[in-house]
Amino acid sequence: MSFETIVYEMKDGVAEIRLNRPHRLNAVTQQLYDELNAALGAAEADRDARVVLLTGEGRTFCVGADLKEHKAGRTAFDRRQYLQGEQRVCKRLLQLQRPVVAAVNGYALGAGAELAIASDFLLMAESAQIGLPEISLGNFLGGGVTALLPRLVGLAKARELVFLGERINGAEAVRIGLANRTFPDTGFLDAAREFARRVATKAPLSMQLAKEQLNFAAERTLDAVLAAELEGMTFVGTTKDWQEGVDAFAEKRAPVFKGE
């Protein structure tokens, strides 16, 4: 696929999407949201894509909205369409039938932080910083972060991050439960790719069910959760991957899952 504001590459079961506006520190535009949404759709439709790796081209992940574009005389309708673009992308990240790994290099601010938080895994370079400065700018939050952030870090810490708008580094993000892991700046993208490849080796159908359940179980009753788990266990027991997992365990080898 051909894009102008992102780079899309497939290798070793990993669909790598790199935000590609380095001259603007990967600040988001309507076109970027549209192309990112299309790329996520392509990854979901590709049976070979087991995991999505989302990162930024150049020296940063994403510094948020491109304020230069906001001053270009857009109508209220245009602005609403742009804002809905982020909502659609973040919802897509949450509901995508593939795990998503966000690899944050440099800065993830505002909408950039919201894209990272909507992903299933958040990896950060040691010098990277993440923050939500919207309230400090008289703006507001998007991408479902008001629901996601308290679940990750607790309500008290979520208030602190949102109300104060302070940036935190990778180590602090891991400490409070916002990020999964931090890696040295040197070789960061290689480490993130290796992490994504490890995720890609897992059973894709089981992963899909686990992602849905983990992301949305909090909205369901206990009976609904138990019913969904029972359906999931029953379903995967009918797949070739389940038999491959059993056989691999008995034969003391690594399983080779095919998503069947």
Report, as residue numbers or ranges, the catalytic residues: 114, 134
Q: How many residues are recorded in the chain? A: 260
Neighbours of 224 (CB within 10 A): 12
Neighbours of 30 (CB within 10 A): 19
DSSP state at residue 61: S
Distances (CA, A) of 114 to 32, 91, 110, 133, 149: 15, 11, 6, 11, 9
Write phi, then psi, for 119 (nearest 5 degrees): -80, 165
What is the spatial distance between Cα 60 and Cα 67, in angstroms, rounded to a whole number? 17
Dmax over CA atoms of the chain, in Å, equals 65
Neighbours of 37 (CB within 10 A): 16
Nearest to 34 by CA among 12, 7, 3: 3
